[in-house]
Amino acid sequence: MNNLAPAISPPSGVGDSKPANQAVLDWVQEVARLTQPDNVFWCDGSERENVYLLDQACRQKVLIKLNEKKVPGSYLHRSNPNDVARVEQFTLICTPTKEEAGPTNHWADPAETYSKLNAMLKGAMKGRTMFVVPYIMGPPDSPLAKVGFEITDSIYVVLSMRVMTRMGTVALRRLEASKDGEWNRGVHSLLDVNPDRRWICHFPQDNAIISVGSGYGGNVLLSKKCLALRIGSYLARKQGWLAEHMLILGVESPEGKKHYVAAAFPSACGKTNFAMLIPPKHFAGWKVTTIGDDIAWMQIGGDGQLYAVNPENGYFGVVPGTSHKSNPNAMKSIACDTIYTNVALTDDGDVWWEGKDGAPPAHAIDWRGNDWTPDSKDKAAHPNSRFATPMRNNPVLDPDVEKGEGVPISAIIFGGRRSDTMPLVVQALDWEHGVYVGATMASETTAAATGAVGQVRRDPMAMLPFCGYNIGEYLRHWLRIGARLENPPLIFNVNWFRKSADGKFLWPGFGDNMRVLKWVIDRCEGSEAAVKSPIGWLPRPDDLDLAELGGFPHQNIVELLGIDHEEWKRELAGHGEFFESLGGVVPDELLKQREKLAERFQV
Ligand code: OXD
Ligand code: MN
């Protein structure tokens, strides 16, 4: 099935909100001249517009309306089966020189890429509607907020952007009020959804993005990975702030003391679960609240602390495995007003996926649109099936989520999916060591991107697929930010995924991650409950509150916190190989950190 929809003619007062900004009007006209749509639909983000577009999307079979009683206000979308994840190999950073894109990005010459893409876009929207979607990333009154415009020929993209961003007139107002008049130009066309003509191209120096040939969220909701991370990280370096692949959560003690934590994990490693964590019963009175589940924009406040905002307005999360057991708050968030992509449809118009509570349905239609029963050998939902849901649905949304200056960050956590080597938690010795920990982070790959799953790859700060410029410069930027912070957050590394010799997870994860979070918070409060090890500060088993962790063998915590010197010898060699593979761009400070780590293992 594909997402292509014919042109639509809306009733009067819908689709005609042209902005006053002449530069925007000129750009839209230029793109329309190239792509030749049947009509141009100017989005204003109103409820009337939304009702109209949802109705159109259902008529055109781009969306299926779900049972209003089971999942009110919710819809199912099936993408083309060739188009279900981000495509890193076709994601390009088009800077004037290859060095600016650096060793971890696929680079292409900007002029050549523009002309290649323009040839593909020529007449691409004939017979279709071209939507113009104005949006803001960040709380509208934040100094970090950015305005973007996405031109798209996908009604699914428009409806998803409405969930994921602050979309419509609010963005036009922000643009009019802004001093710099800076805005991002994004052009998206499905073309014929052909993997051979699929390119996600970034032009950071022009603040521009062009995405063709895909309908998958991570490739086409240009606000998210493309603007908030790739172009965002480029702007952040120029302007002295940080754009990171991090969740932001608040933790409040029973006494009412609150800290905020930002945490970077690669895609599909449980960021949404961690951001909505429900503490176990033993932690009665503790509260975890969500600022964001995927992206953090952080700046240095007047008091020398790091402050974070969530640029997004919704969550685009992985569905399989989400249940009342694993993430009750996510289940409540996706109970209504949600756009599901590539999950299964039950006979009573509900959605189903592997790992949902209860027994599987006796019959369903799978993500490809085929009949499915529990005996089918294929999965009912694609492993990277997604929900797009507004953040206001989250029952633990933090009250300060709209605060323009952001929330003060006490701790930064890095984490990957590692079966061995990395302990449950470790605290870096200082900022520079913390940057080294983030720079050498690794994780087993997941279904969020096309390619092999389960292979360990280095993923600095979980930004490997998202850093919009030279990774060496990026690490240098982190070091510079640290030097400017009078009161830097403490830096930690966690690993929820360590396995025993017989291949079983040693740590229960999910809500019990509160036990690790509590130690992190204690350390931020000055607790001395830790021992120094070659890799940083570790809790002793008794330093973690493991009370009422039913059936948890004490031996597990010993294994989880253990440092195996043989594994670390390999790990250090891995760091060295990774740094070498980057071809001389790694800052000297980090090369020295590696030497110091090796020395600490020798004494
Ligand atoms: C995401 C991703 O969708 O990281 O958030 O792939
Ligand atoms: Mn992500």
Is the Cβ–Cβ distance between 380 and 360 less than 8 Å? yes
Nearest CA, atom 4, ligand 1: 267
Residue with tokens 């802004």: 178
What are the CB-based long-range contacts (under 8 Å, 24+) for 549-555? Answer: 549/280, 549/282, 549/508, 549/512, 549/515, 552/508
* Residue 360: CB atoms within 10 Å: 17
C-beta of 316 in contact with ligand 1 (< 6 A):
yes
pLDDT-above-70 percentage for the chain? 99
C-beta of 88 in contact with ligand 1 (< 6 A):
no
CA distance 387 to 558: 37
Report residue 454's pLDDT band, with 50, 70 and 90 as the boundaries: confident
Q: Which atom of ligand 1 is nearest to the CA of 449?
A: 6
pLDDT in tens, 52-68: 999 999 999 999 999 99
Report residue 7's pLDDT band, with 50, 70 and 90 as the boundaries: confident
- Mean pLDDT in residue range 499-528: 96
Chain centre distance of CA 231: 14
CA distance 202 to 215: 17
Chain centre distance of CA 387: 13
Strand 75-77 and strand 91-93: the pairing is unpaired
Is the Cβ–Cβ distance between 409 and 342 less than 8 Å? no
Q: What share of the chain is helix, strand, coil (3-state, %, to 5)?
A: 30, 25, 45
Reading the block at residue 509, the tokens are: 């994860």
CA distance 307 to 301: 6
Q: Which atom of ligand 1 is nearest to the CA of 466?
A: 4
Q: Is the pTM of this model over 0.85?
A: yes
CA distance 289 to 280: 15
Amino acid at 89: Q
- Mean pLDDT in residue range 171-193: 94
Task: Check pLDDT > 90 for residue 280.
Answer: yes
User: Closest by alpha carbon to 159, among 338, 385, 14, 350?
Assistant: 338
- What is the rounded end-to-end Cα distance, in angstroms, of the chain? 62
**CA 294 to ligand 2 centroid distance, Å:** 5
Task: Check pLDDT > 60 for residue 2.
Answer: no
Report residue 399's pLDDT band, with 50, 70 and 90 as the boundaries: very high
Task: Check pLDDT > 90 for residue 137.
Answer: yes
Q: How many residues does the chain have?
A: 603
CA distance 493 to 510: 16
Helix axis angle, 471-484 relative to 588-602, nearest 10°? 80
Chain centre distance of CA 81: 22
- Which one is catalytic: 94, 201, 269, 524? 269
Nearest CA, atom 2, ligand 1: 267
- Strand locations in 301-419 (E): 306-309, 314-318, 339-341, 344-346, 351-352, 364-365, 371-372, 386-390, 407-415
Alpha helices in 431-564 (DSSP H): 431-439, 471-484, 513-524, 554-561
**What's the pLDDT score for residue 426?**
98
* Catalytic residue flag (residue 467): no
**CA 316 to ligand 1 centroid distance, Å:** 8
CA distance 107 to 95: 7
Task: Check pLDDT > 70 for residue 441.
Answer: yes
Distances (CA, A) of 280 to 287, 391, 502, 509: 10, 23, 27, 11
In sequence order, what are the residues at sequence separation of 6 or more whose Cβ sits closer than 8 angstroms to the Cβ of residue 422?
416, 493, 495, 498
pLDDT in tens, 231-249: 999 999 999 999 999 999 9
C-beta of 294 in contact with ligand 1 (< 6 A):
yes
Task: Check pLDDT > 70 for residue 542.
Answer: yes
pLDDT in tens, 361-395: 999 999 999 999 999 999 999 999 999 999 999 99
Task: Check pLDDT > 90 for residue 485.
Answer: yes
Ligand closest to the CA atom of residue 465: 1
CA distance 564 to 380: 40
Is the Cβ–Cβ distance between 416 and 498 less than 8 Å? no
Rounding to the nearest 10 degrees, give the CA dihedral for residues 56, 58, 62, 66.
150
- Mean pLDDT in residue range 547-576: 95
Residue with tokens 């060295």: 576
Nearest CA, atom 3, ligand 1: 218
**What's the pLDDT score for residue 587?**
98
Q: Which atom of ligand 1 is nearest to the CA of 86?
A: 6
Nearest CA, atom 1, ligand 1: 267
**CA 440 to ligand 2 centroid distance, Å:** 19
Residue with tokens 């389960």: 454
- Mean pLDDT in residue range 477-499: 97
User: Closest by alpha carbon to 525, among 258, 262, 246, 247?
Assistant: 258
- Mean pLDDT in residue range 431-440: 98
- Mean pLDDT in residue range 138-162: 97
Average pLDDT, the chain: 96
Reading the block at residue 120, the tokens are: 């593909």
C-beta of 292 in contact with ligand 1 (< 6 A):
no
The values of phi and psi at residue 115, to 5°, are: -75, -35
C-beta of 221 in contact with ligand 1 (< 6 A):
no
**CA 220 to ligand 2 centroid distance, Å:** 14
User: Closest by alpha carbon to 515, among 277, 294, 273?
Assistant: 277
- Mean pLDDT in residue range 504-513: 95
pLDDT in tens, 304-335: 999 999 999 999 999 999 999 999 999 999 99
List residues bridging with 424 in a β-sheet. Answer: none
Rounding to the nearest 10 degrees, give the CA dihedral for residues 40, 46, 48, 51.
80
**What's the pLDDT score for residue 32?**
98
Strand 287-292 and strand 246-252: the pairing is antiparallel
**CA 267 to ligand 1 centroid distance, Å:** 5
CA distance 429 to 593: 11
Q: Which atom of ligand 1 is nearest to the CA of 267?
A: 4
